[in-house]
Structure 1
Amino acid sequence: MTYKAYTLNLGRCPQSVISDIWVDYPLNPDTVLMPDDAVKCRGKWDTGCNMTCISPTVANSLCLPPGRHIEVKTPHGTTTSTNTVFVSLKIPNGQILPSVEVCIAHMVDADMLIGMDVISLGDFALTRNKYGEMIMSICMPPMMTVDFNPVAAEVNNGRL
């Protein structure tokens, strides 16, 4: 098994976690390279988002055929109708997800929202380093459980 990891320093006061993501047509599951003409997007990592979403602009640029028609609930509590499409994604760690069903949604500061359907495929962590900078790290497939309780107990008891 090959693990692929990525770490991003977000600075001291990040408002969100944004990284490059590449989007293309669904690929054969055995594909190891993303096509050169994949669309590069600004992807916002959103643990409050259940299903990954792409903007209508990205969906239209790929001329993707519509999939299911679904109802989605926005953070404001309203419900809206939208279509889903299947895409392939390449996340910054180099991991290629050959076929992911995503919904089409309007968004303001990104081309896509990376939801828990993708985030939960690996280990995902947000931490601060000793300089107060926020660090995002992801590894796929999952490698380990991050549990701060034992370490905190050791530090609190003066054993670490």
Structure 2
Amino acid sequence: MSIKKLFHATDESRNYLSEAEQKDIYKAVESEKNLEELNELKETFVPQVDYSNPAQFARFGSAYLYYKSAISNILDFYPYDGSDAEKNRFHNKTYPIDKYILDNNYPKSTGYGIVSPDGWGTQSSISGGYGVPATQEHITFFAGPGTGSFLS
């Protein structure tokens, strides 16, 4: 067999994609790094442990410390406004209990408060040019909001 026939035969057997088809195939991937992280995520072993019941997994330490460290890891290291690759990397590199807390218990969106659902009520007095209702409502924050300052 000649060299020409050898290379000609392999050229015919190749199936090339058009540029449009390539874009469609890799649209959901976002980037090469994300593809690598998705492959690693797919190959990762996930233990079948019920993390909602501490008696099922806390054998060598305090369940409180497991949960506390999971929340700390999520708060400190989760890429809230990161790319899909960064979020998948977090899932690949973190502990299974962190994944459980993030996927099942951690709030995924901002909340809202309903103020005066039945109307404003009756005015009892005026303070600083504003009417003060007879029944006052308060919103209590237990975890923030922060001042945005580096020192806070």
TM-score normalized by the length of structure 2: 0.23
Question: Whose strand proportion is higher, 1 or 2?
Answer: 1
Question: Whose helix proportion is higher, 1 or 2?
Answer: 2
